[in-house]
Every structure is written in structure tokens, then in C-alpha cells.
Chains A and B, each alone.
Chain A
Amino acid sequence: MTREKIFDKLNRVFQDVFDNETLELEDNTTADDIEEWDSLTHIDLVVAVEREFGIKFSMGEVRKMQNVGEMADIIQKRI
């Protein structure tokens, strides 16, 4: 899957989780950029991304996901 495609899908997942259709992700989008992205919502995001891509992250991977770009990198490695 191309990085672009992964990004598209991620964008939709974030829109669902935050219930915000106007959300546009960037490579360096972090929790600081989205007001409601706290540690608890992060868990929902992990569930949502796992569901979308049909994968399960390891503890190390989840810890590493500090921004959207890193998330996309990990996904690309896994699928």
C-alpha cells in the first residue's frame, strides 16, 4: 500500500474517532495539534487503526507512535 493510500485511510479513521469531517492530517500532526487527542483517545485511535488495517500493534510500536507520520511508517512496515 502506498504511503499516500495509508494516509488517506488514516485521515478517515481520525475523522471518525474525532467525529470531525474537516480534520486534515499532516506527517507531523501530533496530539498537541488536535485538542481532543489525549492519552485516552489515543487508545481509541489504536483500536481504530488496527481495525482499519487489520493488524495488531506491539507495545513498542504503540509507544513509538508520537505523531501521524510515525504511525504511517509503522503501518507501512506491517502490511
Chain B
Amino acid sequence: MIKELTYPFDADEIIVKKRAIKRKLLEDKDNMVSKKVAILGGYTTNNVKNILELFLMANGILPEFYESEYARYYEDAVFGSEELDSFAPDVVYICTCNRNVPFYPDITDNAEEIDRLLDDTYSRYLDMWESIRERYNCPVIQNNFEMPYYRLLGNSDASDLHGRVNFLTRLNMKFYEYARSGNGLYICDINYISADYGLSEWSDPFYWYMYKYGLNASAIPYLAMNVANIIKSIYGKNKKGLVLDLDNTLWGGVIGDDGQDGIEIGQESSDAQAYSEFQDYISEQKKIGVLLNVNSKNDLENALLGLQHPDSKLSPDDFICIKSNWEPKDRNFKEIADELGLLPESLVFVDDNPAERQIVTDSLPGVSAPEMGEIHERIRVLDRSGFFEVTSLSDDDLKRNDMYKTNVIRRKQSEAFSDYHEYLLSLGMKAVICPFEELYYPRIAQLTNKSNQFNLTTKRYTVEEIASAAADNETITLYGRLEDRYGDNGIVSVVIGNVSGEVCDITLWLMSCRVLKRDMEYAMFDALVDECREVGVKTIIGNYYPTSKNSMVAEHYKTLGFSLCSEDEQGHTVWSFDIPFEYSRKNTVIDIGK
């Protein structure tokens, strides 16, 4: 992650150097996915767009933008435009502020009149969201409202129905209610972001009068970072875990020198309290599916001793990999990523020592390692960075730590078997492989966006597109979930194929790396063959589009017995498979239920 854009950043520096930063980011553009972002603004959004571009690129997304004419957000959203239609956005961002609220309650209005005004104001937004969904079927990001710049009624402005604070708060609550209903609306919480920034500065009217900016020019990077975080989260580009140092990171002091009694954790001192709260925060992260790991320069024994401190909020069981040794931290970091089956850049390095952060980011350039500051600042640094921005929270997210942990146990177990087939049988695997079910659309969409390695076409889908695929008669959809004696892995594989006459063209085939080498791909193929036969398909076509991350599946179709039809200069290969009259099942180790 590029330093200038890593929170805590110098916002003005980003504005001043945006051209140079962009130039630097573009060097890596081949590894980015393209997304079309339409910004429908209630004010001058040009600079929001420019800075958003930087933050999206830093998250591996190369944006193409549509920007509405000045303050034409409502017209564009409700009536569309030829330009916007042909642009076909992947995501729409409605960038408004409280200056776009046309009417506020008058002090003489009664409660009913105010309710009506509230409904009228809200319905303008509802119209926009619904017509965007109808027209473009894509996620919508909507700013809520920041609090007003002044309070006519003073503190009562919050509670009195005539107060603008009250009115905007009620309006925001209506936005949230809609967002909760799962209609693809995501709130960009500028009410929080502006409070965090300082409302007086954020809403400095200078910028409205001079430039028709809805916020302070210097605050734009904070807004842009948040919007980028929502977008990258929707497209599955969140980080997956933390790699944590121990001494002076999870507790104060050095366990090897100070001993278990000597480290700062618990309620005895202000430092100890700060470290305890930090541990609490980390353990909350775990609950939402963030994978926790340790990377520390200590004897293992001492590391465990520290984590077994009676006041420690975290215990050794909370971590998947604990690397505590005297190896260089970049090497440990890489090994942790390998053991989890993840790319190093999907993990965040948390270490108080700038030299260690440097070693890790120098040798593994994609890794984020924020400047942590003093212990009392660290929750803020991690929190504001938005590494794990939540836009959907599936059951699998909540169970993720357990799933990865059992994976590590499985790996150790496999070393005990000399025959791999026997090891697979010993796992007692059971799979359910079925056409897409509505309940799982969000998880399926999430997988299409985050799977990079075992992914033949790296085609990304929104929830809406998954729903359309499931509803289409000419499309075969399959999801696979896998459990074994160590636990439920949840949904781990997705296949989509388009049927045309006697041919089925596989447009998507992916599998989560946590179930590699478990023959799950064979089970999926068997199921695909069954589905194909049912609709009279005789030939299955597969495509492999190489990316910088999916070389592990270059030979996937060959392994399944497909024959190569063509290969172009970019390495894109096309394969075909004629379903034989007597098809013998490839999977012999997984029990298939329905």
C-alpha cells in the first residue's frame, strides 16, 4: 500500500501531490480490476473523483468515471441520460450534503407537517435508489447527512422536531432502514466522518461560497478513503487478517525481559488499560471474521506466557498461526500467509517498531503496515483505515477463524498419512452441491469477488447479477459447500455455465483456496456433468484467462480430461470436453448429499 495514502495520512499532501501519486499507482495498473463508477453529485465533485481514483487504485481497482453535470444528481438518477446509460455503471455514488436538502421544518410547522416534509424529502432519495436499481442493477452508495453548520434552537435543535439536527437525524434513520433491507444501498457515513474530522472545519462555508464544494477541500481525502473502502469491500477486496507483534503491541514491555508479571496488561496502570482495550478491539475484529496471527521475536514459550497472562483478553486459542521465533519478520509473515493459503497482501502487519514494518513492506510490497503511533492512538489508526470495512456479514465470516484453524490442524494431520487418498478419506468429507439458492446469493457474490487464485475466468459478479444468473433458464449454476470431521467450511466453490443447444460454456469456476487438494473440484465437475445431461448438453467448453494470480489453474481443464482447442497470445486457452455415454465419477472421497 502506497505510503501517502495509508492512514494516518497528510490530507493536503495527497491533494498537492495527486498527480505524482497517480503516476506511481499507474505502474501497477495491470494488476487492477476495472470498475465503472458513476458519481452523481449535489456539489462540485471533480476533486472527490480525482482523490477517489487514487484510493481505489491503491486497493487494486482501476476506476473509469462518469460524473453528472453540476448538481444534476437527481435528474441523472431518476431519468437517466444517454451518456450514463451507455456508460453502464458498476456502482453509483450519490455524493450529496445537507446543502442539498431543499426545505427544513419551519418553526410554525406542526408535527404532521414536519412528518410530511420528512417523507417528501426522503422519497426523492428513494426514487433515485429505485430507479438506479431498475436501470443499472448495481450497488448504490449514498452519503447520509452531516449535521447542520448551525443550531437555531441551540441544544434543543437535537430533540425538537423543528430543529435541523433533529430533522437530518430522522432523515438519516430512514436511509439506514432502507439500507438494512438489503436492496444494494450502502451508506457512506459522512455524519461520522465529518464529526471525526471536526464539523466546523468540514462544513467551513468558505468552500461552498467559493467553489460550491459540499465540504472543506482538505477533508476530501477522508471522504474519498471511505467511499473507496465501501467499493473495495463490495468487490471483495477487503483485507482478511492481522499479523500482530506482541511486545509493546499487544502488551506493554518485553515478555522475555519483564516476565509474565512484568508486562503491562489489565487494569493496574493507564498503559495496561490502554493495551487491554486494544486487545478487546482486536478480539472484536476476530468476531467479524478477521484472521488473527502472531509474528513476534520471542521464544515461543514466552510468547504463550504473555498470551496466558490472567488479564490478557486474547489467548493463544484466538490465533491461527503463532510465529514466535528469531527469524526475520518478513520471512515469518510470508510463512503465515502460506499456511493460511492467502496472499501476503491480504494481511495487515501491526507492529509498533517502524524498522520491522519497513522490513516487511520492503520485502512484501503489497502489505499494509500502518504507522501505529502511541498505544492510545492505535485503535483509531486500525479502525479508520477500513481494512475490514463490512458491507455484508455472512455466517461464514463469523466462523472464519475456526475454519482456518481447523485447516491448520488438517494440514498437520495430513503429514501423518503416507497415502494422500487415505488421508482424504479420513477427513470424512461431505458436500452439498446445488443450484444457487437465494439465501446464499451474497456469499456467492462475495466469493466471485475475492477469489483470485483458483479462479478460471476471474469474472466478478454483484449480488444482483448472481440473482439474474440463478433465475435464467439457460444458465447452469452450482454452489458447493464442504464439511468434514473438523468442521464446516461453508460455501467454497461456484460454477456458472451458459447453455446453448448442446453446448455448455463455463463462464465461472472458482474455489476457495482453503479447500485446495481436497478433490472438491472433481465433485463440482461431476455435479456439472449431471446438470448438463439433464438439459441435453453433450459438450462442455472451458476457458482459462490468465491473471497474475491464477496460474495454479492453468492446467485445470487438462487435469479434468478436456482437450485444448485454442490458445491466444495472452495465454487465454479454450478447452472442450465431450460427455461420454458412460461417465465415470471423478470424485471418490467426498460424500455428496443434497
- Residues in chain A within 8 A of chain B (CB atoms): 13, 16-19, 40, 43-44, 46-48, 50-51, 59, 62
Q: Would you mind naming 13 contact pairs between A and B with Cβ atoms under 8 Å apart? A: A16-B16, A17-B17, A17-B19, A18-B19, A19-B23, A43-B213, A44-B47, A46-B217, A48-B15, A51-B12, A51-B13, A51-B16, A59-B209
With A40-B47, A43-B47, A47-B218 known as contacts, the answer to whether A16 contacts B17 (CB < 8 A) is yes
Q: How far does the alpha carbon of A43 sit from the alpha carbon of B217 in the complex, in Å?
A: 8
| Contact across chains for A48 and B47 when beta carbons are under 8 A apart | no
Q: How far does the alpha carbon of A48 sit from the alpha carbon of B279 in the complex, in Å?
A: 39
Q: Which residues of B contact A51 (CB under 8 A)?
A: 12-13, 16
| Contact across chains for B15 and A19 when beta carbons are under 8 A apart | no
Distance (whole angstroms) from the CB of A71 to the closest CB of chain B: 15
In this complex, the member of A43, A48, A50 whose beta carbon has the largest number of chain B beta carbons within 10 angstroms is A43
* Majority-rule SS of A interface residues: helix
Give the bracket for the number of chain B residues in contact with chain A.
10 to 19
Distance (whole angstroms) from the CB of A3 to the closest CB of chain B: 22
Closest chain B residue to A19, Cβ basis:
B19
Q: How far does the alpha carbon of A47 sit from the alpha carbon of B206 in the complex, in Å?
A: 12
With A19-B20, A43-B211, A62-B210 known as contacts, the answer to whether A48 contacts B217 (CB < 8 A) is no
Question: Besides the contacts A16-B17, A17-B16, A43-B210, what 13 more A-B pairs have beta carbons closer than 8 Å?
Answer: A17-B17, A40-B44, A43-B47, A43-B211, A44-B16, A44-B18, A44-B47, A47-B218, A48-B16, A51-B12, A51-B13, A59-B206, A62-B210
Q: How far does the alpha carbon of A19 sit from the alpha carbon of B19 in the complex, in Å?
A: 6
Q: Which residues of A contact B211 (CB under 8 A)?
A: 43
Q: How far does the alpha carbon of A44 sit from the alpha carbon of B12 in the complex, in Å?
A: 9
Q: How far does the alpha carbon of A13 sit from the alpha carbon of B16 in the complex, in Å?
A: 8
With A19-B19, A19-B23, A59-B209 known as contacts, the answer to whether A48 contacts B46 (CB < 8 A) is no
Q: How far does the alpha carbon of A15 sit from the alpha carbon of B13 in the complex, in Å?
A: 13
Closest chain A residue to B12, Cβ basis:
A51
Closest chain A residue to B211, Cβ basis:
A43
Q: Scan residues 203-219 of chain B and give those whose CB is less than 8 A from a CB of chain A.
A: 206, 209-211, 213, 217-218
Distance (whole angstroms) from the CB of A75 to the closest CB of chain B: 16
| Contact across chains for A44 and B206 when beta carbons are under 8 A apart | no
Q: How far does the alpha carbon of A46 sit from the alpha carbon of B46 in the complex, in Å?
A: 16
Closest chain A residue to B16, Cβ basis:
A48
Q: Which residues of A contact B19 (CB under 8 A)?
A: 17-19
Q: How far does the alpha carbon of A48 sit from the alpha carbon of B213 in the complex, in Å?
A: 17
Q: Which residues of B contact A48 (CB under 8 A)?
A: 12, 15-16
Q: How far does the alpha carbon of A43 sit from the alpha carbon of B211 in the complex, in Å?
A: 8
Q: Which residues of B contact A43 (CB under 8 A)?
A: 47, 210-211, 213, 217
Closest chain A residue to B22, Cβ basis:
A19
Distance (whole angstroms) from the CB of B437 to the closest CB of chain A: 48
The 5 closest A-B pairs by CB, nearest first: A19-B19, A48-B16, A51-B12, A19-B20, A40-B46
Q: Scan residues 195-243 of chain B and give those whose CB is less than 8 A from a CB of chain A.
A: 206, 209-211, 213, 217-218
Q: Which residues of B contact A62 (CB under 8 A)?
A: 210
Q: How far does the alpha carbon of A62 sit from the alpha carbon of B206 in the complex, in Å?
A: 11
| Contact across chains for B16 and A47 when beta carbons are under 8 A apart | yes
Distance (whole angstroms) from the CB of B440 to the closest CB of chain A: 45
Q: Which residues of A contact B16 (CB under 8 A)?
A: 13, 16-17, 44, 47-48, 51
Q: How far does the alpha carbon of A26 sit from the alpha carbon of B19 in the complex, in Å?
A: 22
Closest chain A residue to B21, Cβ basis:
A19
Q: How far does the alpha carbon of A11 sit from the alpha carbon of B295 in the complex, in Å?
A: 46
Q: Which residues of A contact B18 (CB under 8 A)?
A: 44
Q: Which residues of B contact A17 (CB under 8 A)?
A: 16-17, 19
Q: Which residues of B contact A47 (CB under 8 A)?
A: 12, 15-16, 217-218
Q: Which residues of B contact A13 (CB under 8 A)?
A: 16
Q: Which residues of A contact B17 (CB under 8 A)?
A: 16-17, 19
In this complex, the member of B16, B19, B46, B218 whose beta carbon has the largest number of chain A beta carbons within 10 angstroms is B16
Distance (whole angstroms) from the CB of B18 to the closest CB of chain A: 8
Distance (whole angstroms) from the CB of B479 to the closest CB of chain A: 47
Q: Scan residues 162-201 of chain B and give those whose CB is less than 8 A from a CB of chain A.
A: none
Q: How far does the alpha carbon of A40 sit from the alpha carbon of B15 in the complex, in Å?
A: 12
Contact with A along B533-576 (1 / 0, CB 8 A): 00000000000000000000000000000000000000000000
Q: Which residues of A contact B210 (CB under 8 A)?
A: 43, 59, 62
Distance (whole angstroms) from the CB of B69 to the closest CB of chain A: 15
Distance (whole angstroms) from the CB of B501 to the closest CB of chain A: 54
Distance (whole angstroms) from the CB of A69 to the closest CB of chain B: 21
Q: How far does the alpha carbon of A73 sit from the alpha carbon of B568 in the complex, in Å?
A: 62
Closest chain B residue to A44, Cβ basis:
B15
Q: Which residues of B contact A44 (CB under 8 A)?
A: 15-16, 18, 47, 217
Contact with A along B7-37 (1 / 0, CB 8 A): 0000011011111100100000000000000
Q: Which residues of A contact B12 (CB under 8 A)?
A: 47-48, 50-51
